[in-house]
Structures are given as structure tokens and as C-alpha cells.
Structure 1
Amino acid sequence: MKTERGWRARLAADPAIGTGNVLATVIAQGADPDGPGLTFDTAVDGYPAEHPLTLGELDERVQARTAWLHAHGIGRRDVVAIWATEAQDIVLSFLALTRVGAIPALLNGKMGPAIADEYIRRLRVTAVLADAAHKPLLAGEVLAEPRELGTGDPAQAPAHYRHHRDDPVVITHTSGTTGVPKAVLHTHTTLYAALKHLLTMPQAQGTDRILNALPIPHTATILMVNQVLGNRAEMLLLSSQDADGVLRQIERWKPHAVYGFAVTWAGLARADLAARDVSSVRMWFNTGDCAHEPHIRKLVAVGTRETVTRDGRVMVPGSHFIDGLGSSEMGHNGFHITHTADSSQYGRCIGKPYEFAQATVLSADGVELPVGQVGILGFRSPTVSPGYWNDSINTYRFRLNGWFVTGDLVYRDETGHYFHLDRIPDAVAGFDGPQLFTSMSEERILAALPDVADCTVVIVEHEGAYVADVLLELTPDAKPVDRAEAVKAAVAPDVAAIIRTITSVTADQVPVTVTGKVRKVALREALT
């Protein structure tokens, strides 16, 4: 193999590479079959849990599944739902289904059975793969458990399906904060466009050994699988994203980077990180919702990172945290900002768009708004999903004047940095009326009250007026004091004036989606 930079440049220049064929392309380009493949936290076809599959072993296990699918009549354009918990069940099935030209539809294992049945019905699937725990929960027929696919004969695998750039290759789903999740389609090229760009850049510090704490059926995990295969890096994929388990794996496996959602960082920030061995971590990477300042500060205070001094490259205490804003529909984080212990730009700053993307702030009728004015986030990028599977109404509802609208309220400053204020359904933000934001209120409460580990703010209409209810999750050492004045002083005056209740809660009292996002719609219904 040539130099790392030359290898990555060759992949980036390959016109045929995309989400559906990265594994096969990397092998065809001459990658060492004894080099890194993927590592799973559960057993794979006789290999024990946490056995680092080589590239050759990974390819053989995928070929076995490809042969099984081909023998059972699964092929081009067949939509196959996968409902499972273990990372290996989902990732290996995804890799095999794309090899036969099928379209894997990935379901989060935490999805409720009734919602899963309805979601699968709307997909109009050809077949369903479900693990032993989920199989009896489904009303319809299940073709097989994902692990059964590993019994296929690799030698009988058909030739790799040849993908066109616009071929559909995977369906993932949104978090489902308002009910049945939307089915997000990605093509061979949309979900690889950002990775092609990153292949032309120097490889980021820490990305040679990654702990994947992202939800496995999420778009972000598919991105990560293809990124590490292209980078010839190591990655351990976790089937569960609970903070305690992630922390234990950091201590055991010693990753250089950890990828996750905001809910994981909130969980890690509750721990006494100074008493744990997280020294291997150089970088934390957040996607989905942007992270809260107090959680970021606790993470960048630990770990180590490489920096350049007059004496050359040295390791120093403290890590990087790369924050931004992403979604299944955006296909990759659309924005990025890097924090260290010395950072001061917070206040829900999501940074600037990546070079491959464009962003703007829009009025309700699609007019681009000036610096400092709050509006709807508009986004353009080759990474954006072409739409929702079998759902043209929502596909076009989220397009405005040529922009994909993410459902977020933002503003940008004179330097081009974007700031996230709230999700549209959670805010009261008419362009000519009140400006009441829940996410920004949470950010300010967390920054002002160090004995609050996490919080949720909900705004509802009650008897013709808006009222706000504040739920505080306190740290274990928090004292039983009245926090009403401190909370009101932290938030914007318009929000402070409408606070109705301030309640201490535990984490399990706050309803969340399968990806850990707070279900504010459920809280609004309960509090109205």
C-alpha cells in the first residue's frame, strides 16, 4: 500500500465508491486483508466478543450473509427491515444487503412494538430480519434472525451489485419525538459525500482508534463504519449507549476518540471523571443535537491531546470536543466547532458549516434573513437525504425555497457562526410575537447552576397564556434549597416571567425517544 495520504486520496478520487460498496472497494484497492476490519461487543459467528475482525475476516462474514440472502431470493431493490439490538446484527446485515442491491431499513431496538409494526407497514418491506428478542413482538412474518445469515457459504456469494450514484442504499429513521418516526432514505452518494471530502483532508487526531457510542441503527453509525474502513482505522461498536457502559469501555479498550450523542455526554458528565482512567481519549465527537457547555467543559478537562509547540509535537492534558448539529436527513454533521479547556465560545454555538455545505436563516416564507435575526435553519449539501421513503408529503414539506429545513431555530453572527436556540415544535417564536426558547433556557440554567446535572424546560399554553415548567435533575451532592430565583435569573426575562413550576426529577421521570432525546411533546401533553 502507498502512503496513508496517497491511499486516502485514491479512495476520494474513485468515482464508483459510495455507501453501498466501501468494504469491497477498499479490498479491491489493495488494502491489507490482515489489517483492521471492525470490532463488535458481542460474538460474531464463533469469534468471541471484542475480537478485532481483520478486514479479510470481516469480508468473509459479510460474504456468508450475502450468499444466504441470495439463496433466499433477496436482491435488487428489495426493502428489508432489520430490528435488533446487537451492533453486529445490524452492521453485518447492512453490509450484506447492500452487496445484493437490497435496501436495508434499520430499526432501533428500543422502538415500541406497535410503532415498529406501523413503521414496517409504511415501508412496504419485502422481508424482515429480527433477533430473538424482537421476533415475537412483531405481528408480521419474520424471514430470519440476523445471526442466521452467518451460516451461508461465502464461496457461494454472488458478484457485488454495481451501484449507480443515485441508487437507494439504506433507510434509517428519525428519533420519533412526535410519534411514528419518519423513514429517511439515503443513496449511494449522499451518505458518502462528506466522507469523500474528509478523505482529502488530513486525518483528524484520534480517529485511528474509535469507540462508537452512537445508536447503531442511526445514519451516523453507517457513516462511521464507512469512515473507519476508508481510513484503515480501528473501531469498537457498542450495542448499548448507556453512559456507565461507555465509561467502562473507555477504561478497558482505551480509544483515542469517542463518538456519541448529547445524551451520552450528559451521562458521562455526571461521573467523577477525574477518578476514572480516560487518559487515552484525545477527541469527543458529537452529532445530532448540539451539546451543553457544562457537559463539554467536564469532558475537555480530561484526556490528552497532541499540540504543536516551539519544541515540536507534544501531548498535553485535556482533550478536544467537536460539536455541531446533525440529523439523519442532513446525512452528516452540517456544522462544526472545536472546544478545548481554553474555549469561550458557547451559548449553543454550533460553529460554521463544513466546506461541502451551505446554510442560511430563513423567514417562514423562505426569505433569507440578516445577521442577528432569528429564523428557520436552511441547509444545502450533497449529503442531504433525497426524501422520506413512501412519504412525499413530508419530503416536500421540509423543502423551502430550494433549502432543506431542519426544524431548528437559529441565528448567525457577523463572523458566520451559527447559534441554535430551539426546535420549532418546542419554542414559541412567531416572527412578530414572543420569542420563548426551551433549549436555550436549558443551556442557561445548566451554565448558571452547577448542582443541576441536566434539565428540561417545557412551554405550554394554559388558559390563554403561555407558561413554562422547569424540570431539574440535580447532582448527588446538591443541597435541598430553593432554586427558583437562580433559575429565573438564568433564563431570558420573557421566559422567567412565565415560569409556573420548578420541579426536581430523576432521569427516569423524563420521557425520551429511542435515541435519548427528550419527548417534549409527551411532556406538553402531560402538563397541559
Structure 2
Amino acid sequence: MKRLDPATLFDTLAAAHSPTTVHLSRPLDIAPDGGTAYGMAGLADLVDTMAGRLAGAGAGPGDVVAVVKENHWDSTLLAFAAVRIGAVPAPISDHLPPETLAVLLERLRPAVLVTTRAVLKAASDAGAVLRADRTLSVDGPAPGAAALAEADPGRSAPHGRGADDPLLIVHTSGTTGVPKLVPHSTTTMVRRLIGFEAHRWPVLSSRPDDTVAAATSYVHGRAFAWTASVLWLRPREVAIVADHDPASAEPFLRAHPPTTLEALPATYVRWQPMAARTDAFRRVRLYISTFDAMHPPAVRTFLNATERRRPVWMQGWGQSETGPLTFRFLTRRAVAAQGARRPTTRDLGHPVPTRTRLRVVDPQTLRPVRRGEPGLVLARTKALGLGYVGEQERWSAKVLDGWWNTEDIGERTRGGGVRVLDREVDAVPGMSCVEIEDVVDDRIPAVLECVVLRTPQGPPLPVVATEDGHLDAGEWLRAVRDLPALAPPLVMAWDELPRTGTGKVRRLELRRRLVGSPDA
């Protein structure tokens, strides 16, 4: 085939007669009558049509196209459509508050905003102005917005761009405030990230007989890279899970049992009961998790849910700014022990060979610390993004003599791996909050999520989420008897925790709600 070019990806795959069929858990929002199964020719036509509509709405080479809609794979397809005409897509989660969306769009100043009537109404109700030269609504016209389906198509011939020009703008999770906007170029996104994954690696790569499933955030840069690399390897089937609710996901997964599965950490947690009681995951040979470290019980449950003799869990760690930094393979044996004070999933493995370098330094002096000592984790990678849109000074402050400040506190292990202990803003002297969270989750089966928040005064506050919002007091006391001092737990239901579009807990928002201030 020709080289991997996001502007012509689907045309290239269609011309090469790729055998891959993409199955959707529900029709795409941009093509509600298009059904739930697509070959590459159908996807090429759809992307070409969307590119024409974006061009007809005024988007051209170098212009920003913002996409804010309900989570589905068509957010990724719209990003490829924008790339096709030389524009720069900026997919954004619709989970963000209207005021935050307004800030991001003010920084982006998009030529075209593709969104939904629900997003526009929420912004209007909140008095937030979503800035764009032209707004298109996916689900029909709205005040100030034309219907995407009625946009006059313009010219959509593939348009090239410089290797170091912006290709895609991704946003960070926003767990600590307003997300940052990170432009990536063809060099950083395609050559460094997609190109690496599109290579046929043992264990990791998609195979011709695979059913590759994803349940992720389709506005995230990870979805763009995943789509390009997986389709380039031409597996038999790709299964896209749009709605992560177990009741919706289970019938689809049973109809298209995956052999490899990548899902958000929070989605894996929600699917644990499903994995324990059904055979939907019986064929999985490879699980992949990114965005955040997993709790050991979830990894253990899914590895035991497959009939494969030697299933593998690949845990990756990275950031929107850097792409993957480390990876580690977990097996049934690695996560067999329960209740340990050093859960295996916080050991995030080794830097990606020939791709990344890591060092741990003293946060005050920036001098390297010895292995086993906690410090600030710095990374060096050629996949580093181009900056922060509208916040370049903030970006420059995080680049230290060529090293990227991850703002994570961690330590190098004896074997040369990295163990993450806390985010710098959440760190508590003398303990690791994320370690405590893993231990609690491992020791109390009813706990779906544990978040330990440092407070202005007194011991850290554990916030515990269970299915019904209740927790046995005696079980809690037994579970924390050998842990550092903690405040009495605050118990709530899973849905009460504020989350980002990638399922991460918005810790500053939770601290503001419970402690009265986002600052510790």
C-alpha cells in the first residue's frame, strides 16, 4: 500500500481492498441511516462527504475545525475529514461545562464548530458563548447553527501540509482544571506515534483474524492514533462501542466477541460484573488500557474472564502532550496476589525502547535522585507536542532543558521501571495516595473507586464509590488497619463522582465540593 497519510487513509485502504469490516454498537450520529456495518469503501465515501461539508461551511487549509458532540467514533471520522481538506481538527469532550468549552473555543477561534443542539442549549442556558465563524449541528438546525446534513458540499480533494505544521489538536483530561490544548504535527502524531503502532509487533499488533474492539473517548488523540494504526493492519473486524453502559455494551460484545480490547479504565471498572458473569470476553488474547493506571481487581477479573491460556494485559502510561511513555505486560500470575501494600499496577513498566527516556529528580533542585526515592518524573521524547494553544508560556515553563515535566511524582524501580506515586498537586508527604486507593479497592470487593484527597488540615480524606452508595464500617476498618492515618471515608454512588470525558475523577472539582476549596 501507499504510505500512511491521514488525509487519504480510507481511500488508500479502500483501493487496497482491505477486508476489514467496522461494526458499530449504534449508527453514527453523522449518518443515522447508514447502518451499523461499514467496509473501507463506505467509510471513504463518508469521510469524503463530511470533508466536503466542512469545506462548504468555510473550513480550509490551516483553519481549525472544532468538534463537540456525544461520544461516538464519528468524532474521529470528522477529524479525518478535516485533515483531508488541510484543516486542523480539534475534537473536544461534551462532558466539559459550557463555561470551559467557551474558554477552549476562544483559544481555538475555529472556522467551523460541529456540535449538537444539546451542547448549544446548555451553553445558552449557562450564558456561555461558543465562539466560531460558522456552527453546524449534527442533529438538525438550532439557533445560530445550520444542520450538518444540509451543508452545501464544497471541494474536498486531499490537501497536503508540512511535516511540522499542526495536524491535530488534542486536549488533556482536565482533572485539575481547564484542559490544555495540545497541537500535534505529522512528525509527532503520524511518524512517532501512529507509525510505531502500525508496525507489526509480536503480541501487540492486530492480526488478520482479530476482532479489535474499542470503548474509549473518541474525541481524544488516542482514538485518532488507534483508528489509523488498527485499520492500517487490516484485522478481520473492528468493533466500536459507543455507549459504555453495561446494559448497552454487553449484547454488542456478545455479538462481536473481541480478541483484543482497548477500553477506558473507568469502563473496565463498570464492566467488571459483566466480565465475572458472562462469556463476552472469552476470546480476548490482549487487553489494553491507557489514560490511567488500573486497579488490580479489574485486571484480575478480565484476565480470568477469557478462555485463552496466556492472555496479556498491556498497561500504557503517557500524556496527551507526549504520547506513550512506558508500557508493561501483566499476566494472571502478576496480579494473583491480593491485598498487597505495593499493587503491581502502579509499576508502569519501562520506557518505550528507542522512543522515550525518563528520569526522576528532586522537585526543588531538579537533581536526579537514587532509585527507590520519590521525585518528579521528567520525560524526553521526540513525540512531544508543539505547545499549548493560547498558553505558550505555560508550556515553556514545563520544558526543562529538553525534558518534559510530567507533574507526576514517582520512583525508578530496581529493574529500571517507573512506579507512579501521585500527581504533584495531590501528593501527601510520607505516603502515596494512589497506592492507598489501589489497596482499598483490592481489599474491599464492594468498592468500585477510591479517591484519596489531601486536605488543608488533618489526614487525607478517602472518597469511596460503591454501587449503592453504602459501605460496611467494620470492613473498612479491617481494610485500612495497616495503612497511614486517614479521615473517616465519605461514601457515595459511582455516578456521583465528577468525571472527565475519559472517565478520570476530576479531583479538584471533588475537593472543591467536599472540602470547600480546590487547593490543599
**TM > 0.5 between the two?**
yes
| In the alignment, structure 1 residue 259 sits paired with structure 2 residue 257 | no
Partner in structure 1 of residue 186 of structure 2: 188
Residue deviations 1:339-358 (CA, integer Å, cap 9, x gap):
12122581511111112222
Shift of 1:243: 4.3
Q: 1:346 to 1:100 in 2, by over 3 A?
A: same
Partner in structure 1 of residue 223 of structure 2: 221
Partner in structure 2 of residue 22 of structure 1: 9
Q: What TM-score does the superposition give when structure 1 sets the normalisation length?
A: 0.84
Residue 171 of structure 1 is aligned with which of 164, 169, 175? 169
Alignment of 1:38-49 (within 5 A): 39=24, 41-43=26-28, 45=31, 47-49=33-35
Shift of 1:128: 1.2
Residue deviations 1:334-392 (CA, integer Å, cap 9, x gap):
21111121225815111111122222212224323221111111112222212111211
Partner in structure 2 of residue 442 of structure 1: 437
2:460 and 2:411 map into 1 onto residues whose CA distance is 23
Q: Secondary structure at the match of 2:294?
A: coil
Q: Which moved more, 1:30-39 or 1:231-240?
A: 30-39
Residue deviations 1:114-145 (CA, integer Å, cap 9, x gap):
22122111222222111232233343465212
1:511 and 1:136 map into 2 onto residues whose CA distance is 21
In structure 1, runs of 5+ residues without a counterpart are: 1-6, 306-315, 429-433
1:34 and 1:366 map into 2 onto residues whose CA distance is 52
Alignment of 1:105-124 (within 5 A): 105-124=90-109
Q: Secondary structure at the match of 1:389?
A: coil
Partner in structure 2 of residue 338 of structure 1: 329
Residue identity in the other structure for 1:180: V
In structure 2, runs of 5+ residues without a counterpart are: 124-128, 140-146, 336-342
Alignment of 1:11-410 (within 5 A): 14=3, 17-26=4-13, 30-32=15-17, 35-36=20-21, 39=24, 41-43=26-28, 45=31, 47-51=33-37, 53-138=38-123, 139-140=129-130, 142-146=134-138, 149=148, 157-192=155-190, 193-202=192-201, 204=203, 207=206, 208-233=210-235, 234-271=237-274, 273-305=276-308, 316=309, 319-331=311-323, 333-344=324-335, 346=344, 348-355=346-353, 356-364=355-363, 365-410=365-410
Partner in structure 1 of residue 511 of structure 2: 524
- Indicate the percent of aligned positions where both proteins have the same amino acid: 22
Contact 1:360 1:378 in 2 (8 A): yes
Q: Secondary structure at the match of 1:228?
A: helix
Partner in structure 1 of residue 126 of structure 2: none
Q: 1:389 to 1:277 in 2, by over 3 A?
A: same
Q: 1:38 to 1:353 in 2, by over 3 A?
A: farther
Q: 1:276 to 1:209 in 2, by over 3 A?
A: closer
Q: 1:453 to 1:395 in 2, by over 3 A?
A: same
Q: 1:407 to 1:20 in 2, by over 3 A?
A: farther
Residue deviations 1:25-51 (CA, integer Å, cap 9, x gap):
545xx5216654674631454654422
Residue identity in the other structure for 1:527: V
1:149 and 1:227 map into 2 onto residues whose CA distance is 28
Q: What TM-score does the superposition give when structure 2 sets the normalisation length?
A: 0.85
2:22 and 2:16 map into 1 onto residues whose CA distance is 11
Q: Secondary structure at the match of 1:190?
A: helix
Residue identity in the other structure for 1:159: A
1:420 and 1:410 map into 2 onto residues whose CA distance is 4
Residue identity in the other structure for 1:296: V
Q: 1:25 to 1:366 in 2, by over 3 A?
A: farther
Q: Secondary structure at the match of 1:467?
A: coil
Q: Secondary structure at the match of 1:245?
A: helix
1:256 and 1:200 map into 2 onto residues whose CA distance is 19
Residue identity in the other structure for 2:113: V
Residue identity in the other structure for 1:117: A
2:16 and 2:447 map into 1 onto residues whose CA distance is 49
Q: Which moved more, 1:231-240 or 1:284-293?
A: 231-240
1:249 and 1:232 map into 2 onto residues whose CA distance is 21
Q: 1:241 to 1:163 in 2, by over 3 A?
A: farther
Shift of 1:222: 0.7
Q: Secondary structure at the match of 1:350?
A: coil
Partner in structure 1 of residue 142 of structure 2: none
| In the alignment, structure 1 residue 504 sits paired with structure 2 residue 491 | yes
Q: Secondary structure at the match of 2:75?
A: helix
Shift of 1:450: 3.4
Residue identity in the other structure for 2:491: S
Contact 1:174 1:183 in 2 (8 A): yes
**Alignment coverage as a number of residue pairs:** 486
Q: Which moved more, 1:499-508 or 1:258-267?
A: 499-508
